[in-house]
Chain A
């Protein structure tokens, strides 16, 4: 890699060939202010805050796009540069609504930080006071155009990182506005609410509804953990204050997701309206009554000891941690339960981890079969669509039903037209077959035809399904007239179909976090922690073990899964 020697602020810097002045300066610890620049996005030189003096250049140059060359001499804080930056800030502040006193971003705003840095104490021009819209049509976050500085980070994130191309620039000059699709309300647009734009916005223009006005960076805590909404296992940053979750952010350093999250992991997961279970309960005379832990455990142990192992079905949610699942398998294995399985079915062809998600960013053709990537494993959908939109990769969808990704491709085939799909895939250089839970019928044929050429990536349903399977828990549950069922449901929303399968059970124990259809059916309810209160690990669909770190303290009286299982084991002897 050739190197480039230049001077910045009197310091001799060695940069890599191809780096911009900004990159060279950052590597040398020199701080050049920016607004539209972002480490995860391509630079565009829109805001002009990074203008620097480059000797022999006629005008000031934007450091973010100007390439560093040999012998270049740069001044980043000369009088002319500082004067220009102050002028830019005054223009920005005069243009739209940048009154800080009632903005939720005040204190954490990149525009405000720069104004303080350059000692801005008044504005050059009076404001035009043009009323601009506030778009509150999306469920989880709001766009206040009055606070927008048109840095275009949101547009670039929607294009480069997410590949959704919902956002664009409408109008020109002083009429410029961020628009969605053909200037429709955001809530009616092609927006998939992944929230990447929200995360990169430097000002208060994009506001998260849940966390707005609820705490500055200096008042909150950050906990890195792994999302449990599906089996991809995106790395996330949970932002809390006073034992409440304010919002979830994508971790830019995440090995699997690189900062991207989806509506499920960023927003939906915080929207649980079910009532929390905080005390053990025993059903007496048809109604659940509060009990002590000892009473509840004794009731369970009493019933389990009195029956044959043959009569007991033990079910664990794949939302449990590796530690809990391993303990669960041991306890119920030792008890001789006839069935130890997951609450949700794991198809046999997905029992072995196959493939690596990192291949998605290199592929030139995707075959997606057996999954709707707008409903589940959404971040895989995002990785695929950005390949399609930004690298010209092709997408082939095999699905007999309408599929959420249909609008991204013309190559949509029913299972009867498999040969046409295979034909297209065979002409690609790096084809990847992404298969989900309903791919069972066509997968063998795809392997036969593409096995030597394509890479196969399996997307297992549920969350920590791999952890469950590795603990020796079965992926299938046969309803076999069991007279007792122990369901470690935790915070999973239990499928009504599963409850039907348990209809023969006379005794049902629910180890769960929330009141729902399962607790209505249960004879004993044991309160456990929910996802944000657990620390351990989970294993994603690729087989990667990822850390889970609790960001909340559980309510008093609620116990961890492993503690509950230990209490049971102790009394079962």
Chain B
């Protein structure tokens, strides 16, 4: 049997979910016998290969236009898409800005906050992603096949989900594998 190909990406994140992936510790050696990790924020390849992958993992919420593109790209290039972590599954902590006007949020972060000096200005370079009016969960932007909540999801839940997929089953989280915190 050939190896399963896997790609991951992070959107509006703290990177805790990727740290949790790494928390599978030495099990990664076993995993690499069956899984080919292609692109990932923590490997050298940054975008999923054009030929596509079997499993895509997205962490983090969708907060700006660049992240919408990244989510769509991953959806296009993978067969099974997993949203990993509370931010990807529900929107999570990132959605705290949904209670405010996005211009006010930018003004506060770049100009008015106590740690900003008098030179503060909201960056408007065309190279930057534009904030969406509202932060969204991944499944509000693209179709998601597997949800793994958690903040971050426990490494065991991630291990369980991946091994289930390797055996051709859609994982169903129960017990300690299902957590919202």
| Interface residues of A, Cβ cutoff 8 Å to B | 99-102, 106-107, 112, 115-116, 119, 121-123, 126-127, 129, 131
Contacts and interface: CB of A to CB of B under 8 A. Distances in A.
Nearest to A100: B180
B92 interface: yes
B137 A126 contact: yes
Contact of A99 (B86, B99, B147): B86
Interface stretch (B32-40, B68-76, B170-178): B170-178
B149 interface: yes
Nearest to B138: A122
A115 B180 contact: yes
A102 B93 contact: yes
Contacts of A116: 178-179
Interface size class of B (residues with CB under 8 A): 20 to 34
Interface string B88-116: 01111101001100000000000000000
A101 B86 contact: yes
B173 A119 contact: yes
Nearest to A132: B99
A100 B178 CA distance: 12
A119 B95 contact: no
Contacts of B173: 119, 121
B90 A129 contact: no
B55 interface: no
27 contacts: A99-B86, A99-B90, A99-B92, A99-B180, A101-B86, A101-B92, A101-B93, A102-B93, A106-B180, A112-B180, A115-B180, A116-B178, A116-B179, A119-B172, A119-B173, A119-B174, A121-B147, A121-B148, A121-B178, A122-B89, A122-B139, A126-B91, A126-B137, A126-B140, A127-B95, A129-B95, A129-B134
Contacts of B86: 99, 101
A129 B89 contact: no
B181 interface: yes
A99 B178 CA distance: 14
B33 to A, nearest CB: 28
A122 B149 CA distance: 8
Contact of A119 (B134, B136, B140, B178): B178
Contacts of A106: 180-181
A112 B95 CA distance: 20
Contacts of A119: 172-174, 178
A101 B178 contact: no
Nearest to A146: B99
Interface in B153-180: 172-174, 178-180
A397 B178 CA distance: 57
| Chain A interface helix/strand/loop/mixed | loop
Nearest to A93: B90
B90, B91, B144, B151 — most chain A CB neighbours (10 Å): B90
Given A119-B172, A122-B149, A126-B136, 14 more contacts: A99-B86, A99-B95, A99-B180, A100-B151, A102-B93, A107-B181, A112-B180, A119-B178, A121-B147, A121-B149, A121-B178, A122-B90, A122-B147, A127-B98
Contacts of B90: 99, 122-123
Nearest to A94: B90
A566 B180 CA distance: 56
Given A106-B180, A131-B99, A99 B136 contact: no
A119 B170 CA distance: 14
Interface in B108-136: 134, 136
Nearest to B151: A101
Contacts of A123: 90
Contact of B91 (A100, A107, A127): A127
Contacts of A99: 86, 90, 92-93, 95, 180
Contacts of B137: 126
A102 B95 CA distance: 13
A47 B90 CA distance: 23
B140 A100 contact: no
A348 to B, nearest CB: 60
Nearest to B178: A116
B99 to A, nearest CB: 4
B59 to A, nearest CB: 14
A107 B148 CA distance: 18
A307 B100 CA distance: 77
B95 to A, nearest CB: 7
Contacts of B134: 129
A122 B180 CA distance: 10
Contacts of B178: 116, 119, 121
A99 B93 CA distance: 8
Given A99-B86, A99-B92, A129 B99 contact: yes
A101 B136 CA distance: 17
Contacts of B144: 122
A191 to B, nearest CB: 27
A436 B82 CA distance: 68
A240 to B, nearest CB: 24
Nearest to B98: A129
Contacts of B136: 126
Nearest to B86: A101
A121 B89 contact: yes
A102 B178 CA distance: 17
Nearest to A115: B180
Contacts of A129: 95, 98-99, 134
A27 to B, nearest CB: 29
A106 B86 CA distance: 14
A483 to B, nearest CB: 63
B169 to A, nearest CB: 15
A112 B174 CA distance: 14
